[in-house]
Amino acid sequence: MKKDNQLQEHTSSYYAASVNHPTSYPMLAGNHSADICVVGGGFTGVATALTLAERGYSVALVEANRIGWGASGRNGGQIINGISGLDALSEKHGESITDMIWDIRWRGNDIIYERVKKYNIQCDLKQGFVETAVKPRHLEYLNEYFEERQKRNFPYKYEVWNKEKTQSSLGTDAYIGAFACYRDGHLHPLNLCIGEARAATQLGVKIFEQSPVIDIQHGQKPTVKTSSGGYIKSDAVLIAGNAYHTLDSKHLSNLVFPAGSYIIATEPLPEELANEINPLDVAVCDLNEVMDYYRLSADKRLLYGGQCNYSGRDPADITAYIKPRMLEVYPQLKNIKIDYEWGGKIGITVARKLAVGCINKNVFYCGGYSGHGVNATHIMGEIMADAISGTMEKFDLFANEKHLRIPGTRWMGNQIIALGMLYYRLKDLL
């Protein structure tokens, strides 16, 4: 796996190998102006840019590498409702925001389904996501999920699976129960991100790739400067780099930390085997604190991820790191070849709450999704667009949250977080 230096092409993932439309936007050169400048071409940046363009703003987006280069183009492709930290918000504010929190949880699903249809984005979108119980204590969560949706008159299909239904539907005896929701689902994340970027350009958004930002000059009209010498002056800036950006250290250092996440992709499975392990073609995630997740691709590969690494050190052999866990669940895949392996960084915060805020009234930032990103980024894309437009209610909910900053270097912060996660790993094993 390549080191995450600037000016790179996509990592050697299954997603990059099966992309519909490789991007080749120009490098930023010269001086430009826009209403809004977005820094970062992942889901947060692209989703915000598209939302703003739909509302009539002129937008320029700068990406250090390629659209979807980071976690947005490398993740498990699972559409899961919610955002990390919503429970903390509910506890803090009580019944007064219960309905708002519920709506926020599902807004990402709505945006993704609407945009895929509206802009005809080909990203293998499929409905169905299953959370699996590994231990008896997990079964309580399944019933809570069911009761919550009943209480809310949830209009989409959902169901609790008993042990027999779970094992027959997933072709494994690794689980003792599950909860299935068919408003959640899965897709090809890189094709979604690139498709949204294409839609944004059709609405006038100017996108610049291979243009790492090295400085943001604050002021009434902040100026974004790239390593190529290009400038963009705008009324407002959004920093949407998540795990990879190192901008504005005065305000943002030791807030979001990078953690490694890894996936392997098998060769296309024989039809009989694919139907044995996932006949419903759903995305799957277990309920452990340090979870595994997987799904079938459009061409019936098993994409299996997990073993998030919080120390900052990548494994020397990703397949050797992940495949044994896959075989614990699916020993029948023992002789199946692994065609792709890849990893990347996700942005995490100590308290698993989004890092959201505004510097000097016109430089906004949003990151720290803590591995819960495809839906959350689209939710926040809309909320950030609202805030930039002057509607602050939902933005303020997140921005007013307090964060623990770990003193010292990023490396030191990662070691402290890794130590904390060891507790949760031991909890999973008990």
* Residue 410 or residue 125, greater confidence: 125
- Percent of the chain whose predicted confidence (pLDDT) is above 90: 75
- On the CB side of 170, how many CA atoms lie within 13 Å of its CA? 34
pLDDT digits (tens, 9 = 90+) for 119-135: 999 999 999 999 999 99
How is 203-235 classified by DSSP, letter by letter? Answer: TT-EEE-S--EEEEE-SSS-EEEETTS-EEEEE
* Residue 373 or residue 275, greater confidence: 275
How far is CA 342 from its chain centroid? 16
Query: pTM surpassing 0.75?
Result: yes
Identify the residue whose tokens are 């949706």. Answer: 149
All residues at 6 or more sequence positions from 247 whose CB lies less than 8 Å from its CB, including other chains = 39, 213, 215, 216, 239, 241
Average pLDDT over residues 383-400: 96
Lowest-pLDDT range of 19-33, 138-152, 239-253, 281-295: 239-253
H-helix segments, 299-346: 318-329
Backbone φ and ψ of 7, nearest 5°: 55, 55
Q: Which CATH architecture has domain 14-74+190-257+354-422?
A: 3-Layer(bba) Sandwich (3.50)
Average pLDDT value over all residues in the chain = 90
CA torsion 20→21→22→25, rounded to 10°? Answer: -160
**What's the pLDDT band for 21 if we cut at 50, 70, 90?**
very high
pLDDT digits (tens, 9 = 90+) for 159-216: 999 999 999 999 999 999 999 999 999 999 999 999 999 999 999 999 999 999 999 9
User: Where are the CATH 3.50.50.60 domain residues in the chain?
Assistant: 14-74+190-257+354-422
pLDDT at 369: 87
pLDDT digits (tens, 9 = 90+) for 92-108: 888 889 999 999 999 99
**What's the pLDDT band for 365 if we cut at 50, 70, 90?**
very high
Angle between helices 86-93 and 98-118 (to 10 degrees): 150
pLDDT at 371: 76
Average pLDDT over residues 80-84: 91
**What's the pLDDT band for 7 if we cut at 50, 70, 90?**
confident
Average pLDDT over residues 356-361: 93
Average pLDDT over residues 32-49: 97
Lowest-pLDDT range of 241-245, 397-401, 413-417: 413-417
Q: Is the pLDDT of residue 405 over 80?
A: no
Element (H, E) at 236: strand 231-239
Q: Is the pLDDT of residue 395 over 50?
A: yes
**What's the pLDDT band for 89 if we cut at 50, 70, 90?**
confident
Task: Write out the CATH class of domain 121-188+260-348.
Answer: alpha beta
Q: Is the pLDDT of residue 415 over 60?
A: no
pLDDT at 408: 54
The rounded distance, in Å, linking the Cα atoms of 212 and 7 is 8
Radius of gyration of the chain (CA): 21
**What's the pLDDT band for 430 if we cut at 50, 70, 90?**
low
Q: Is the pLDDT of residue 3 over 50?
A: no
User: Where are the CATH 3.30.9.10 domain residues in the chain?
Assistant: 121-188+260-348
pLDDT at 406: 59
The rounded distance, in Å, linking the Cα atoms of 82 and 151 is 17
pLDDT at 403: 67
